[in-house]
Structure 1
């Protein structure tokens, strides 16, 4: 398999963590998009419990906390991400109601059944798959609780072979927006809203910060083949996006538990 076709999970665990610890967001998104998605969620109070799954270092979580009441728990597999997450919460004066914990989506989540008012996950549900995540996470939501996730999706019924093959190697569950909405309905949610993340969520808020820090990362790991492969893989993703962005992107899917 070429480096360009490697999935992120095939790289060294510690190397991935170090690379993405250097940027505020570990995937496409923006504060404006987080706030827009939050605008479709009703009835949050100071007593509400929110879970941000696959929270990374908490770029979107801090925006959530600054724009909604309630207690927020961020969960991520990488301990270093959670250390940064909790440090950011302290710096922003949010640690009284925002806490990051280490945990895996692949295991039982550390929440009581029907105890969570909102489950949030920006660009991370792919780690276990869109359908599996919607179905498994539903048990933790209260009746009328919400789920809001951003997910890679096709914008067109057909797409060029190069970008199709790339995504089939990385995430076979990528699908069209109508099919994703149907999956949400079938999992027991009322689809509340969907919207496509704008281009600047990729270019300005994700690719640009990554490019800015790559030279320092490369110099620190000079001679490390795996580090160089990781950078080349990330740059290949960026090149493909610029060539084929009219065919795919991230979409926010917001649903309400029946």
Structure 2
């Protein structure tokens, strides 16, 4: 849930971000999925430069840092996320090589070909899948990797209710083969693709949301906007339960090639 517009589904983005301060992850995922994606990436060293774009509070970033060498920069537009990110890095004694900074994924300040790995779990939708692949490519060294998780259709056809929901929420959602074709067109070799298991939604996303809602309702009793946010989250969970065979999150790992 990292969005750089002013609202998401008509709800103020700052309010949403404050809600997600109470969660370790801001979207579907898990430590196991993060490490599985990492397993397809090689040649990282103590000198490697890694960027986690749309890092949120850094749940996945800390998993990365504990299982790979190199220096990691987390970038998110919401200062509260970055404060929590840096606090978490300090608690894990990772602050010497893991740092969060406030910034925008559509205005990065890395040098060209500076990065060995670009990571982005559930956040590339903020600027669009194809745009992100194309604009971020210049920051990667040749042979460097990009790893992103992105919503995708599992079938060519799907019921109108879930189709219309996603067309409004994120019209760039597409089938997995079409996403892979976009990766190739942008100048990468597809290395691996896998669907995040259902537990990435139920155990690692929806269950923590329920606990976060209890905290937020207590903090914002009577706030109609908060009630709308929670109502939307319940609807999102209902849709997933009803239509999970038609869509989900997919990890895409690719390597930059010369063009």
Same fold? TM cut 0.5: yes
In 2, Cα distance between the equivalents of 1:210 and 1:57? Answer: 14
Residue of structure 1 in register with 2:30 after alignment: 30
Question: Is the aligned partner of 1:133 residue 2:129?
Answer: no
Structure 1 residue 13 displacement after superposition: 2.8
Confirm or deny: 8 A CA contact 2:9 2:169 kept in the other structure: no
Residue of structure 2 in register with 1:45 after alignment: 45
Residue of structure 2 in register with 1:230 after alignment: 229
Structure 1 residue 222 displacement after superposition: 1.4
In 2, Cα distance between the equivalents of 1:232 and 1:139? Answer: 41
Residue of structure 2 in register with 1:79 after alignment: 79
Structure 1 residue 235 displacement after superposition: 1.1
Residue of structure 2 in register with 1:176 after alignment: 175
**CA RMSD, 1 decimal:** 0.9
TM-score for both structures, normalised by structure 1? 0.96
Listed as ranges, the gaps of 5+ residues in structure 2 are 1-6
Residue of structure 2 in register with 1:122 after alignment: 121
- Number of residue pairs matched? 251
Residue of structure 2 in register with 1:207 after alignment: 206
Q: What secondary structure sits across from 1:163 in the alignment?
A: helix
In 2, Cα distance between the equivalents of 1:9 and 1:146? Answer: 32
Confirm or deny: 8 A CA contact 2:118 2:145 kept in the other structure: yes
Q: Deviations over 1:130-182 (max 9, x none)?
A: 00000000000001000000000000010000000000010000000000000
Listed as ranges, the gaps of 5+ residues in structure 1 are 1-6
Q: What secondary structure sits across from 1:26 in the alignment?
A: coil
Q: Which runs of 4+ in 1 moved over 6 A?
A: none
In 1, Cα distance between the equivalents of 2:216 and 2:83? Answer: 20
In 1, Cα distance between the equivalents of 2:209 and 2:119? Answer: 24
Residue of structure 1 in register with 2:149 after alignment: 150
Structure 1 residue 9 displacement after superposition: 5.8
Residue of structure 2 in register with 1:92 after alignment: 92
